[in-house]
Every structure is written in structure tokens, then in C-alpha cells.
Amino acid sequence: MSKKPIIGITMGDPNGVGPEVIVKAVNSKEIKDLCEIIIFGDDGVIQKAANLCNLKTEIEVINCSEFTIENLKPRATDKVAGQASLDYISKAVASGLKKEIDAVVTAPISKESTHLAGSKYPGHTEMLKDLTNSEQAVMMFEGSKFKVMLVTIHEALINVPKLISKERVLSTIHLTHDSLVNLFKIKKPKIVACGLNPHAGESGAFGNEEIDHIIPAIEEAKKDGINIDGPLPADTLFYYANQRKWDAVVAMYHDQGLIPFKMISFDDGVNITLGLPIIRTSPDHGTAFDIAWKGVANPSSMIAAIKVAAQLAMNKSA
């Protein structure tokens, strides 16, 4: 890619920290020098956020919903804001599929607000999967020490064991490996998989998911030439992951992977959705209604999300 990549940023929930962290991020020198920015949101809201932060707004904004500054209700869940959040995502994804932009970065949404607007999705990932007609959408979290992939995403803990299958674990391992090689340009990535149960099941003493599904998936992945360890107990695995023993960790469920990840990389963690025909990243935090529209939100994770999106876009074009 000879020119700067074009990154489309969705404004997220207008009542949250999205507008603020966006204007702070795009005004940072490292982002200005790295890529071109298009915001899918509302120019009035972006202008108000810029004024709040005493910043300029020389940014292209595509107004793509009926939401206006008059609808703004800082720090509140709201049906109109929820619908606007969905509209921003739909427009940005459509633009990405048409190759009008090189990557999509999504600011945080309020699931309560989007549900008030009638959305059935538990989060961005599931919505992006449907909007792009993708067979698989897997969450990867990129941090300063290691990456985490999730076999299951937004699922009640009681449902997780029956969702762990050899096929699902194997496909996640393959997607992890392929993404590390093709997007992150790691020639020979090292991967590790967590067990589901305490002590990785301890030979069936604490459950059979490892014996029946996880180990067979790992063995088949090894036959396919993938360098993968495990399943290892999650309570010790992340100690070594933090020392960069592996390039990526495949975790079986949401909190197993994200509690240690966010403890280490909360300010600069980035959420990447793999398996889509477009590049999508997002900050590793929510709408933060408690501090929204007070001018105090930290843009570090948004800056990191834009930087990763730009780098992946350049790697993909290469």
C-alpha cells in the first residue's frame, strides 16, 4: 500500500465515551501521520466532543443516522442512541465491503441501548458476522505481551461446556495460526490452548472436555503443521504467556481469556474480529457511562485500535 490506509471509525454510542476518545485519538500526531480517517457518526456530536476537549475537528464525518446533537443524553441508555450505534456500524461495514475504506474501527456501544432499539445481537462480533455473511467470526485480543483468541464468545457460563467441540476448537486454532501468519506476518507462530476445566481436566478427574474435544483438536492441528502446546491449565498458562512464551493463547470462554488479558493490557488492548472479509478492530473497553462527556476519558485503547487497523491493512495489501 503506497498511500496511507483509510480507516473508518464508527462513533459508537453517542452518550458514551466514543466521541471523546475518537477526537482525542485522531488529533494525536501518531495517528495523523499514519492514516486517513473517516468517522461514521454525527458531525454535531463530534464537534461538541472536540469543544469539550479543546481540540480541532478537521475530520471527515459521514452522517448516517437520524441522531442529532438534540438527541444527546450523556451517560444514559437510550433507544435512539442505540439505533444510531447500529446505523453507524451498518454504514461502515458496507463501505468496507465496497473497499471504500481499508479497515473499520468501532467505538464502544451500549448493548442495553441497542437492545432497546430492537437489536438481537449480544455484541459487535455477532452483528459483524451477519452483516458480512461470514461463516465464522472470532475475537482476538491484541496486547503488549500476548494475543488471546476465544473459542466461545458471549455465552452464559452454563452453556460453554456443550459448545466446546473438536471442530470448533480446531477451526479457532487454524484461524489463529492463519491470522498470525497472513495478517501479523509472524512466519512461525507459537500457539497454546487452555483447558476448559481446572488443571486442564486432570485426565478426566474434573471433566472430559479435554479428552473428548480439546486434545483431539490440538493433535490434528499438529498434524497440519501448526506449532501448538496444550491443553494447559489456565491458572498457570498466563504467567508464561506474559513472558512472551507464545504468540497467542486460545481460550475456551470469554472470562478465561479476558480477565488476565485486561489485567495486563487494559489501557492499550485491542479487540480484533477475525474471519471477516474486512479488517475490524476496536478499543478494549466499553461506553464508560460513568465518565462520559466529562473530558477525562483515556484515548490510549482507541489509538492502539487505529494503529493496529492501519498496520493490518498495510500487511494485508502487501
Domains of the chain, CATH where assigned: 1-135+268-318 (3.40.718.10), 144-266 (3.40.718.10)
pLDDT in the model for residue 302: 95
Measure the CA–CA gap between 240 and 280, rounded to whole angstroms: 28
Residues of the chain with pLDDT under 70: 1-2
Rounded to a whole number of angstroms, the distance between the first and last alpha carbons of the chain is 7
- Judged on CB neighbours under 10 Å (0-12, 13-18, 19+), 216 is middle
Measure the CA–CA gap between 187 and 82, rounded to whole angstroms: 41
The partner residues of 9 in beta bridges, in order of sequence, read 39, 105
Please check whether residue 177 is in contact with residue 215, taking contact to mean a CB–CB distance below 8 angstroms.
no
**C-alpha cell of residue 257:** 481469556
pLDDT tens across 23-35, in order? 999 998 889 889 9
**C-alpha cell of residue 181:** 501468519
pLDDT tens across 100-139, in order? 999 999 999 999 999 999 999 888 888 999 999 998 888 8
pLDDT in the model for residue 2: 52
The pTM of the whole model exceeds 0.95: no
| Per-position DSSP letters for 94-114, written without gaps between them | HHHHTTSSSEEEE----HHHH
Instruction: Please give the single-letter amino acid code of residue 199.
Output: H
